Amino acid sequence: MYSHTPPAPPPKPSGTHDASGMSTPAGSQPPRPPPLPEAIAAGLESAATDEHVTQRQPPDVADPGDQWLPKFLQDKSKQDLAEILSDPAQLAALTHSPQTIHPSLGASHATLQAALAENMERAAQLLDAEARLAHQRSAAQAQLLATHALERQWRAKQAEMDHALAPFAPASLYQRLAQGVLEQEGVCQALEESFLEGEGDGALATEREAGDWVRRYREAKKLYYLRQERKERWDEGRVGGWR
C-alpha cells in the first residue's frame, strides 16, 4: 500500500471551467475522466489488503489483477476515488460489501466461514469432552477416596488379627518351645535331686516308691528329649512353613 497521501483532486468545475481549469466551449459536455491510473488502482487494492487479512485465492477463481474495480466505482471521478482511498472505513465497506466484492474474495470469505464453522463445531465437541472428562475425574477421585478409606479399615483389621494371632506366630511358638525345653530340663534335674536327697537321709525307698519315681523320671526325660528334638529340628530348618 502507498504510504503517501493521495494527490489532491482537481477543483470542481465552476461556470464555464472544467476540472482542468481550462475554458470549455458553450454547450459542450465536459470530457469523461481518463481511465483510472494503475497507481490509484494498485493503491485501492493495497488498501483493501492492509485493512483486512489477505486470504489465499481459491484455485477456481482467477485473480482480477491491478486494473479491476467494482462496477460501482467504474464511473466515479478521480475526486470520489481519492476520497474513498483516504477513508479506511468506506474502503473496507466497498471491499467486502456483497454488491461490490470480487468473486475471488467472496470465495475466500466462504472458505473462511466454513473453517470458522468447523472450528466452532470442534470447540463444542472439545467442551463436551472436557465436561465428560471432569465428571469422570470427579468419579475417579471419589472412588480413590473410598479406596483409601477401605485400605485404612483393612489395616486396622489386620492389626487386630495380628494381635489375636501373635501367640501362634512362629517367633512366639519357637520362644515357647525353647522355654519348654528349659523347663523340662529343670523338672528332670529336680527329680534327680529328690531321688538323691531321699537316699541321703538313710531311709530306703520302697519298691513301689522306686517304681513310681522311675516312671515319672522316664516320662519327664521322654518329654525333655522330645522337646529338645523339636527345637533342634527347628534350628536346623527342618520345620516346614516356619522359616
Range of the domain at 154: 109-166
Residue 128 grid cell = 463436551
pLDDT at 234 over 60: yes
Both 52 and 71 in one domain: the answer is yes
pLDDT at 43 over 50: no
Q: Please provide residue 7's backbone torsions phi and psi, each rounded to the nearest 5 degrees.
A: -60, 150
Classify the phi-psi angles of 202: left when phi > 0, otherwise alpha if psi is within -120 to 50, otherwise beta: left
Q: CB–CB of 196/202 below 8 Å?
A: no
User: Which residue, 166, 187, 205, sits at the end of a domain?
Assistant: 166
**Residue 133 falls within a domain, yes or no?**
yes
**Residue 160 falls within a domain, yes or no?**
yes
User: Which residue, 138, 166, 194, sits at the end of a domain?
Assistant: 166
The pTM score is 0.38
Question: What would the mean pLDDT of 53-78 be, rounded to a whole number?
Answer: 61
Question: What would the mean pLDDT of 15-20 be, rounded to a whole number?
Answer: 41
Per mean pLDDT, which of 132-136, 176-180, 228-232 is the most reliable? 132-136
Both 212 and 182 in one domain: the answer is yes
Render pLDDT for 161-220 as a digit per residue (tens, 0 to 9).
999 998 888 888 899 999 999 999 999 999 888 877 765 555 676 788 888 888 999 999
Both 181 and 210 in one domain: the answer is yes
Both 173 and 229 in one domain: the answer is yes
Please tell me what DSSP assigns to residue 61: S
CATH number at residue 201: 1.10.287
Number of folded domains that form the chain = 3
At 89 the pLDDT is 82
User: Which residue, 101, 130, 148, sits at the end of a domain?
Assistant: 101
Contacts made by residues 147-156, CB under 8 angstroms, sequence distance 24+: none
Both 85 and 117 in one domain: the answer is no
- Which residues, in sequence order, are CB contacts of 37 under 8 Å at separation 6+? none
Of the given ranges (17-26, 33-42, 59-68, 103-112), which has the lowest mean pLDDT?
A: 17-26
**Residue 10 falls within a domain, yes or no?**
no
Render pLDDT for 78-124 as a digit per residue (tens, 0 to 9).
787 787 778 788 777 777 777 777 777 778 878 888 999 999 999 99
